[in-house]
Chains A and B, each alone.
Chain A
Amino acid sequence: MTRPLIQYFLALVLAPLLPGIINRVKAFFGGRRGVPILQLYFDLYKLVHKTPVYSRTTTWLFRAGPVIGLAAMLCVLALLPFGGRPSFLSFEGDLILLVYLLGVARLATVLAALDTGSSFEGMGASREVQFAVFAEPAFFLALAALARGGGGLSLSGIFSNLTPAAWLTASPVLTLVTASLFIVFLAENSRVPVDDPNTHLELTMIHEVMVLDHSGPDLAFIFYGAALKLWALGSLIACVILPRHYGSWLVDSGAFILAMFFIAAAVGVVESVMGRLRLLKVPYLLMTALTFSILALIFQAGR
């Protein structure tokens, strides 16, 4: 029981490191020194000490949004395996709960954005719900392709069933699933090529524009929730690309954390080498992810 708890708290503590790594990689590609790798920790510390500013248009829903969003992410982390080991709330069917908890966070964020009555936040909310329509089936089918390989319906079961041998015999399936999950991961976390967290034009933003009006501790909750989401969806990819388990909890956990850092670095590379897509093209990118998932399922059926 203590180990799942330690895993959980490790995830809580390490998650804000991921955006720092992404920024450092981007700075490296841009030839800059970049912000400190612990910048998000400093920001969170600063924000929780500030007094929030609320628009007169907003209501309790605006304040509930960040709270529910962060709570849903904390609940998601309690479902996710860590280094191939089950977490304390792992059960048969937890992958279904996982997707719907992400839905809870989405609805809370979108409603909080609409509560401000700002047209920019309306735009961001509209895009958020639009892209989820394509991302959610892709995500579900990618998980279904993995579940078809055996191991039951819990994420821990599926991933502990995944061995290096699976990568030898079913590499096309796993490659396609990884690609699909990576696209969904970028879209859900509002990264390039779907959304650019660094853009300075509100008209083209998605996630950043939805939280324009939040400030102080609320904004800290949102930043922290976003970091946890990055960790949560990234850990699914880490579990796929790191099928090897050594048996020692320390080594496995260490390897898993390194894999997470590697994924963050990969996001940084993607953001450095390509631009953001036009918003109209994003559904097609997500449909590519859906196609990858379906292809993975077909290949899995042919095995």
Chain B
Amino acid sequence: MLLAVVSAGILVFSAALSLSLGRDPQKASAAGAAGAVIAAIIGLIPTVKILLYPAIETISFPCSLPTGSFTLVLDPLSAIFLLPVFILTAAAALYGLDYLKPMAGKKPLGTAWAMFNLLSAAMVLVLLSADAVPFLMGWETMAAASFALVVLEHEKPQVRKAGLIYLVAGGSGALFLLFMFSLLASPSGSVAFSSFLRPTGALASAVFICAVLGFGLKAGFIPLHIWLPEAHPAAPSHVSAVMSGVMIKMGIYGLLRVLVILGAPKEWWGWLLIVIGAVSAVAGVLFALAQHDLKRLLAWSSIENVGIITMGIGLGVLGQARSIPSLAALGYGGALLHVINHAFFKGLLFMSAGSVLHAAGTAELEALGGLLKKMPFTAFFFFFGSAAACALPPLNGFTGEFLIYLGAFNNIGPSSKAALPALIVITSLAATGALAVAAFAKAGGSVFLGEPRADSAEGPHDAGTMMKVAMAALAMLCAIIGLCSPFLIKPLAAAITPLAVSYPLLDAGVNMLYVSAGALTLIALILCVWALRSALSRGLPPVRGVTWDCGYAAPTARMQYGASAFTQPLTDFFQPLLRKARSYPAIAEYFPGTASFSTEARAVFYNHLYSPAGAQIKRLAFRYTWLQHGRLQFYILYIVIALIALLVWKL
């Protein structure tokens, strides 16, 4: 436990160090990256220990905060989230060393590294806090540090817009959380988690709703997600990896922590989470399918995965409310396993996307192509991560979803009390899986396969050494979890004990053993077939030719199927939801001349929900502009009036 605090201290210290070394970008980067890696190694010791030998460790600092105490608790639930935080931030720091190099001199790298480590420290603080005050301090530091990283390239207008939306989303989320904590604290008057009295009835539901709104804004539940596809692509790629991989999971953690505090949940909470999860998963992957930018596609896929996690939590809540142990344990367990899995494969994917951006200068799908030959490592890691993201065995993505499926399939029987939600989850997961294959085939296919579509894809180089090391480490973890998932069952069971009885999850260890056996069989079969294939070629070199293209012997890069064309049948089918903008010329004459075609994936929720609502609020606010006149004396008067009013109300 103490080591976890030490690691947070190292993060803050190295942040200060790289800030002070800001004039020398090289030293500042070294200090920042070294701090992140050392902190991760030290922090992983207590994390792994708590996961292997479940216990609850507490540290209370004597310093008193305005209303709360500085109490930190490390339990298996925190540890499950700390694990990916430490691993991914360390990998991202190594990656960032190479990634940020070209920006030296142009961008304040010292500040960037300071903010990066501050972000990690804030996440550790959020996960360890057992009191609302340090929790919110960590929460707001996390938002502020990540905002600074999102707007690192603030000279681009869309980055500034993303930053603004992100700021507003973070602020409103924190407001909901403040309200939620005051609701929880009002009966006892203390803001320590342990002193919260278990609320009942409408108060409990109010707390839950505030948690869904406040934490959902961070996690990216649809329709609270609008900042996510803007902010994640705007940040530097190693930061995108951390934001998508672990930062949005802080919302999931907060939700679970509040569910622990609330105790016995109501049935409709589970229903609400299942619906939010199903909508986020299916709509998230559909929008991912429609994107034209690699990093935006990955950001939307994060919304999809948060949806899958939320469906698992929803099943868990429902299982708790209806006392179905197998549903509760497998739902929560699957959700937590997917939290870890998604951190690793999405981190890997964002890093390989970053390498493409780094090398080719663009992440525009229609402008790339054929990069596999120029960047074989990056391409391999991208396809590896894609397979994991599509939940394909033998990689890790399958294991978490398998647990959620198992929980759902266990409860579709005629005597089950939760057959309908289980079937909704099964259908959504199945559709999501198939759509994810389409989205990642589109992304990988148009970036790495075929021939270069534009000059920008002509002369890139592969990723730097540190970038490769970071990606290889994450890819290894994806493979290891895919093959060794039975070993994770016990830590997961320890993590869900505050929420549900864990024996059905422990029982599922047998099924996971078979999943591992299946994964090993698949790998063995691939090796056997590969050996057979090599034997059949008898060492003869293959004949080389042009792509067949049905007899046309001079195909050009422009004849390839584009990314938009690849998904056009699906995006057309779901056009009522996706509302893609399209423009193409109407052919009016027999020999049409030059023509152009364009499609644009639009921010549907922003345009149709938030933009009109924002306009309304603006109109309302303009009526009261006379209150805002810029005279400081009057502003002080407002404060005095407000204080007097409060005093009068309380007296």
Contact with B along A266-303 (1 / 0, CB 8 A): 00000000000001000100000000000001001101
Contact with B along A129-142 (1 / 0, CB 8 A): 11011011101110
Nearest CB of A to B159, in Å: 31
Q: Is the CB of B449 within 8 A of A96?
A: no
A74 at the interface (CB under 8 A from B): yes
Q: Is the CB of B433 within 8 A of A103?
A: yes
Chain B residues whose CB sits within 8 angstroms of the CB of A100 once the complex forms? 391-393, 398, 433
Q: Is the CB of A92 within 8 A of B511?
A: yes
* Interface residue count on the B side (C-beta < 8 Å): 77
A94 at the interface (CB under 8 A from B): yes
Chain B residues whose CB sits within 8 angstroms of the CB of A63 once the complex forms? 533
Q: Which of B506-523 contact A (CB under 8 A)?
A: 510-511, 514-515, 517-518, 521-522
Q: Is the CB of B569 within 8 A of A127?
A: yes
Give the CA-CA distance A121 to B548 in the complex, in Å: 10
Told that A61-B383, A97-B515, A111-B441 touch, could you supply 17 new A-B pairs with CB distance under 8 A? A54-B545, A96-B405, A100-B393, A114-B445, A117-B555, A122-B566, A125-B566, A137-B427, A137-B434, A139-B430, A141-B423, A141-B427, A144-B426, A147-B413, A217-B536, A217-B537, A303-B414
Nearest CB to that of B522 among chain A residues? A75
Q: Is the CB of A129 within 8 A of B414?
A: no
Nearest CB of A to B328, in Å: 18
Q: Is the CB of A115 within 8 A of B430?
A: no
A52 at the interface (CB under 8 A from B): yes
**Most central of A51, A75, A129, A212 by chain B CB within 10 Å:** A129
Q: Is the CB of B543 within 8 A of A52?
A: yes
Among candidates B406, B434, B561, residue contacting A122 with C-beta atoms closer than 8 Å: B561
Complex A-B: 8 CB contacts under 8 Å: A59-B449, A100-B393, A107-B386, A116-B450, A119-B560, A135-B434, A147-B413, A300-B414
Give the CA-CA distance A161 to B521 in the complex, in Å: 27
- Given A52-B542, A150-B413, A133 contacting B434 (CB threshold 8 A): yes
Chain B residues whose CB sits within 8 angstroms of the CB of A133 once the complex forms? 431, 434-435, 438, 570
Q: Is the CB of B405 within 8 A of A93?
A: yes
Q: Is the CB of A51 within 8 A of B441?
A: no
Q: Is the CB of B423 within 8 A of A96?
A: no
Give the CA-CA distance A130 to B526 in the complex, in Å: 26
Chain A residues whose CB sits within 8 angstroms of the CB of B570 once the complex forms? 129-130, 133
Nearest CB to that of B545 among chain A residues? A53
Closest 4 CB pairs of A and B: A122-B561, A117-B450, A114-B445, A91-B514
A191 at the interface (CB under 8 A from B): no
B608 at the interface (CB under 8 A from A): no
Q: Is the CB of A137 within 8 A of B430?
A: yes
Q: Is the CB of B427 within 8 A of A213?
A: no
Give the CA-CA distance A70 to B532 in the complex, in Å: 11
Give the CA-CA distance A41 to B419 in the complex, in Å: 46
Nearest CB to that of A90 among chain B residues? B514
A153 at the interface (CB under 8 A from B): yes
Nearest CB of B to A4, in Å: 13
Q: Is the CB of B522 within 8 A of A104?
A: yes
Q: Is the CB of B414 within 8 A of A148?
A: yes
Chain A residues whose CB sits within 8 angstroms of the CB of B545 once the complex forms? 53-56
Q: Is the CB of B533 within 8 A of A217?
A: yes
Chain B residues whose CB sits within 8 angstroms of the CB of A301 once the complex forms? 414, 419
Chain B residues whose CB sits within 8 angstroms of the CB of A218 once the complex forms? 533
Give the CA-CA distance A94 to B526 in the complex, in Å: 19
Give the CA-CA distance A74 to B523 in the complex, in Å: 11
Give the CA-CA distance A207 to B426 in the complex, in Å: 27
B230 at the interface (CB under 8 A from A): no
Among candidates B373, B386, B514, B540, residue contacting A51 with C-beta atoms closer than 8 Å: B540
Nearest CB of B to A115, in Å: 5
Give the CA-CA distance A101 to B391 in the complex, in Å: 10
Nearest CB to that of B571 among chain A residues? A130
Among candidates B414, B445, B514, residue contacting A93 with C-beta atoms closer than 8 Å: B514
Q: Is the CB of A70 within 8 A of B518?
A: no
Nearest CB of A to B588, in Å: 25
Chain A residues whose CB sits within 8 angstroms of the CB of B440 once the complex forms? 107
Chain B residues whose CB sits within 8 angstroms of the CB of A117 once the complex forms? 369-370, 449-451, 547, 555, 557, 560
Give the CA-CA distance A283 to B431 in the complex, in Å: 13
- Given A70-B529, A212-B548, A103 contacting B441 (CB threshold 8 A): no
Contact with A along B440-478 (1 / 0, CB 8 A): 110011100111000000000000000000000000000
Nearest CB of A to B568, in Å: 7
B530 at the interface (CB under 8 A from A): yes
Q: Is the CB of B433 within 8 A of A136?
A: yes
Among candidates A94, A129, A279, A300, residue contacting B438 with C-beta atoms closer than 8 Å: A129
B589 at the interface (CB under 8 A from A): no
- Given A114-B441, A125-B566, A137-B430, A148 contacting B517 (CB threshold 8 A): no
Nearest CB of A to B279, in Å: 16
Q: Which of A77-91 contact B (CB under 8 A)?
A: 78-79, 89, 91
Q: Is the CB of B423 within 8 A of A297?
A: yes
B550 at the interface (CB under 8 A from A): yes
Q: Is the CB of B414 within 8 A of A57?
A: no
Q: How many A-B residue pairs have CB under 8 A?
A: 249
Give the CA-CA distance A80 to B529 in the complex, in Å: 20
Among candidates A53, A71, A126, A147, residue contacting B543 with C-beta atoms closer than 8 Å: A53
Q: Which of A27-49 contact B (CB under 8 A)?
A: 48
- Given A129-B438, A144-B412, A213 contacting B568 (CB threshold 8 A): no
B195 at the interface (CB under 8 A from A): no
A238 at the interface (CB under 8 A from B): no
Q: Is the CB of A59 within 8 A of B515?
A: no
B409 at the interface (CB under 8 A from A): yes
Give the CA-CA distance A59 to B427 in the complex, in Å: 36
Chain A residues whose CB sits within 8 angstroms of the CB of B383 once the complex forms? 61, 111
Q: Is the CB of B529 within 8 A of A67?
A: yes
Among candidates A93, A107, A121, residue contacting B441 with C-beta atoms closer than 8 Å: A107
- Given A74-B525, A126-B569, A118 contacting B548 (CB threshold 8 A): yes
Among candidates A52, A75, A115, A137, residue contacting B521 with C-beta atoms closer than 8 Å: A75
Chain B residues whose CB sits within 8 angstroms of the CB of A51 once the complex forms? 537, 540, 542-543
B437 at the interface (CB under 8 A from A): yes
Chain A residues whose CB sits within 8 angstroms of the CB of B547 once the complex forms? 55-58, 116-118, 213
Give the CA-CA distance A95 to B540 in the complex, in Å: 41
- Given A96-B402, A127-B569, A71 contacting B525 (CB threshold 8 A): yes
Q: Which of B593-640 contact A (CB under 8 A)?
A: none
B205 at the interface (CB under 8 A from A): no
- Given A106-B437, A119-B561, A144 contacting B406 (CB threshold 8 A): no
- Given A91-B514, A133-B438, A111 contacting B449 (CB threshold 8 A): yes
B565 at the interface (CB under 8 A from A): yes
- Given A117-B560, A212-B548, A300-B414, A107 contacting B437 (CB threshold 8 A): yes
A68 at the interface (CB under 8 A from B): yes
B546 at the interface (CB under 8 A from A): yes
- Given A117-B555, A141-B426, A56 contacting B438 (CB threshold 8 A): no
Q: Is the CB of B410 within 8 A of A153?
A: yes
Q: Which of B417-437 contact A (CB under 8 A)?
A: 419, 423, 426-427, 430-431, 433-435, 437
Nearest CB to that of B512 among chain A residues? A93
Give the CA-CA distance A147 to B547 in the complex, in Å: 46
A221 at the interface (CB under 8 A from B): yes
Give the CA-CA distance A52 to B577 in the complex, in Å: 45
Give the CA-CA distance A96 to B521 in the complex, in Å: 16
A120 at the interface (CB under 8 A from B): yes
